[in-house]
Amino acid sequence: MTKIVVTGAAGQVGTELVPALREVYGETEVLATDVRVPGTGTLLDGPFEALDCLDAAAVAEVVRRHAADTIYHLAALLSASAEQKPQLAYEVNMGTLVNVLEVARDAHCAVFTPSSIGAFGPGTPSDPAPQDTVQRPSTMYGVTKVAGELLCDYYHSRFGVDTRGLRFPGLISHVAPPGGGTTDYAVEIYYDALESGRYTCFLSADTQLDMMYMPDAVRAAIEVMEADPSRLRHRNAFNVTAMQLTPATLADAIRAEVPGFEIAYDVDPVRQRIAESWPRRIDDSAARDEWGWSHRYDLASMTKDMLTHLKAKLGADAGHRKLGADAGHGRN
C-alpha cells in the first residue's frame, strides 16, 4: 500500500499532482500539505494539513502519523523569486529538503524531488544539454537544485533512501499559476490572449527553452517513482522535456487559435539573463531508455487544450485571476 505525503501541495505542480496521486492510490492515502491552507479547491477533497517543512519535528510528526512510505517534496522557491531573495531561497530550498531526507531516512520513505533545467548554467552544452554534463548554474535557484540533486544521490548511496527526481522544463498549466519563475510567460500568455488579445512578454522573442504541459509532468513524476529500480542508472535527476519554445513560436501557435492575437516585448533583464544561462534544449534519452518516459502533448495539442480549459475557467471566473509572485509556492 502506497501512503503519500505531498509538501508544497498548493503550488503549480501539487495542485494537479495531488488529484492524480489520489486517483491512482486512493483519496485517503494522499495527505496534501502546504505552509498555507487554500480556501477552496480540489486539494481539500482529501486529507490536507498545514505544514512548514522548515520545522523538522513537524515534518517527522506528519509523516509518522500518516504512516507514509513516500514523500513528494514540492515546497520550493522558483528561479526569479530566488534571485530576488537568494538567502530565503537557500534556506527554503535546501533546509526543507534536508529535513525531508532525514525523515525519509528514519521512516524508510521514498522521496521524489523536482530539479529543473535551472540546474544547468552557461558552461553547459546548450543544444542539447546531455543527462550527465557540466552543472555550474549562475543563479541561486540553480545552486539549490544542483546541491539538491547531489544530496538526494548521497542519501541514496549512503543511507539507501529511494530518492528519485526529474529536471523539469518550464511547466504550462491552466489550473494553478506558477509564480516567481522565468518560464511563467508561457502560462501568462494564454490568459492574456483570451482576456485582451495581446500579451507583453518579459523574455525576448527568440529565447528558446524546454517546456512541458502539466498532465505530462504529473505523469512523469508518478512514472519515475513507479519505475523498476533495477533499470535506473540515474536517480537525481532525469532530464525530461516535451517541446522547445520561444515566445515567438508560442505566439504563432496561439494566433492559429485566437486570430489577431498580438505579442509585444518588454524584456526584464533579470529573467532574460536567467533564461540565457539555461540550455536551449535538454536531451532526455536517459529517461526514455531507463523508465520509458514519453511525452504526449506537443505545442499544437497543448494549445488547443489550454485554450479550451481557460475559456471555460475565465468565463466562470472572470476577474478572479491572479498570476504573480505571491501565488502558488508557499513562501515567494
Listed in sequence order, the residues at least 6 apart from 18 whose beta carbon sits closer than 8 Å to its beta carbon are 6, 9, 30, 32, 42, 43, 46
Segment interacting with ligand SER (CB under 6 A) among 37-45, 156-164, 181-189, 262-270: 181-189
Query: Which residue from 19, 118, 177, 247 is in contact with ligand SER, where contact means CB under 6 A?
Result: 118
Query: Which residue from 113, 116, 124, 131 is in contact with ligand SER, where contact means CB under 6 A?
Result: 116
Residues 144, 211: contact at Cβ < 8 Å?
Answer: no
Which residue lies nearer to ligand SER by CB, 48 or 213? 213
Segment interacting with ligand SER (CB under 6 A) among 35-43, 178-186, 297-305, 309-317: 178-186
3-state secondary structure of 282: strand
Task: Write out the binding residues for ligand SER, residues 26-85 only, by CB under 6 A.
Answer: 78-79
Confirm whether 213 is a catalytic residue: no
CB of 112 to ligand SER, least distance (A): 15
Report how far residue 81's alpha carbon sits from residue 182's, in angstroms, rounded to the nearest whole number.
Answer: 9
Q: How many CA atoms lie within 13 A of 208 on its CB side?
A: 11
CB of 277 to ligand SER, least distance (A): 12
Which residue lies nearer to ligand SER by CB, 165 or 170? 170
Size of the site for ligand SER (CB under 6 A): 11
What character string, x for contact with ligand SER (CB under 6 A) and - otherwise, covers 74-93? ----xx--------------
Segment interacting with ligand SER (CB under 6 A) among 3-11, 111-119, 198-206, 323-331: 111-119
3-state secondary structure of 295: coil
User: Per CB under 6 A, does 181 bind ligand SER?
Assistant: yes
Which residue lies nearer to ligand SER by CB, 68 or 172? 172
| Whole-Å CA distances, 171 to 5, 125, 259 | 22, 22, 25
CB of 159 to ligand SER, least distance (A): 27
Cell numbers for 126, please give them.
Answer: 546548450
Catalytic site residue from 25, 72, 90, 141: 141
Report how far residue 8's alpha carbon sits from residue 283's, in angstroms, rounded to the nearest whole number.
Answer: 28
User: Per CB under 6 A, does 168 bind ligand SER?
Assistant: yes
Task: Please name the helix (run of DSSP H) or strand (run of DSSP E) that holds residue 302, with its range, or none.
Answer: helix 299-317
Residue 265 pairs in a beta bridge with 201
Task: Write out the binding residues for ligand SER, residues 139-158 only, by CB under 6 A.
Answer: 141
Residues 218, 240: contact at Cβ < 8 Å?
Answer: no
State the virtual CA torsion across 90, 115, 236, 108 in degrees, nearest 10.
70
Task: Write out the binding residues for ligand SER, residues 262-321 only, by CB under 6 A.
Answer: none
Report how far residue 193's alpha carbon sits from residue 263's, in angstroms, rounded to the nearest whole number.
Answer: 9
DSSP letter at 253 equals H
Report how far residue 125's alpha carbon sits from residue 148's, in angstroms, rounded to the nearest whole number.
Answer: 21
Segment interacting with ligand SER (CB under 6 A) among 87-95, 123-131, 177-185, 279-287: 177-185
- Which residues are annotated as catalytic? 141
| Residues of this chain that bind ligand SER (CB under 6 A) | 78-79, 116-118, 141, 168, 170, 181-183
